[in-house]
Amino acid sequence: MPIIKISMFIDAPPKICFDLARSIEVHMETTTQTKEKVVAGRTSGLVELHESVTWEAVHFGIRQRLTAKITELEGPNMFVDEQVSGAFKHFKHTHEFIPHRGGTLMIDTFDYTSPFGVIGKLADVLFLEKYMRTFLTKRNKRLKKIAENN
């Protein structure tokens, strides 16, 4: 069960970072490399507590669907989204926004379990954990750029 943790300083207030991270439109803008689009649930605006979003995206050349639900939300400090259905056996993604040096320390913790038992664990070691870390880092860098230009 890999846990990926990514920290990034953003020169913008926590409230701005918190809202941008929950925005459907910003999510699509920051995930263009996987052609993410919303296909069900909340389709625009800011995702709120107990709401879900179904995303369609292309990963490893395969079109996939994933539904995530906001299970915790304490604005503007943190929110958690968890997979309801999708390719992972399980995931819990915690987003934290901590005031720091006049800006925000954004911390993403992505805790997931791959499907397929031992084969999934092997995939984690060989490529999936690195792929997910790179995907999340690219998304966060784009979110940082948007927040700092706001």
Q: What is the pLDDT of residue 94?
A: 98
Place of tokens 């020169």: 11
Query: What SS3 string covers 21-52?
Result: HHEHHHHHHCCHHHCCEEEEECCCCECCCCCE
pTM here? 0.94
The count of domains in the chain is: 1
CA distance 16 to 39: 25
Is residue 134 within 8 Å of 2, Cβ to Cβ?
A: no
Confidence of residue 19 (pLDDT cuts 50, 70, 90): very high
Is residue 22 within 8 Å of 147, Cβ to Cβ?
A: no
Tell me: the pLDDT tens digits for 21-77?
999 999 999 999 999 999 999 999 999 999 999 999 999 899 999 999 999 999 999
Is residue 140 within 8 Å of 7, Cβ to Cβ?
A: no
CA distance 57 to 66: 8
Domain extent, residue 119, equals 3-148
Q: What is the pLDDT of residue 119?
A: 82
Peptide bond into 2 cis (omega under 30): no
CATH code, domain with 68? 3.30.530.20
User: Is the CA virtual torsion 38, 41, 43, 49 positive or negative?
Assistant: negative
pLDDT above 90 for 116: no
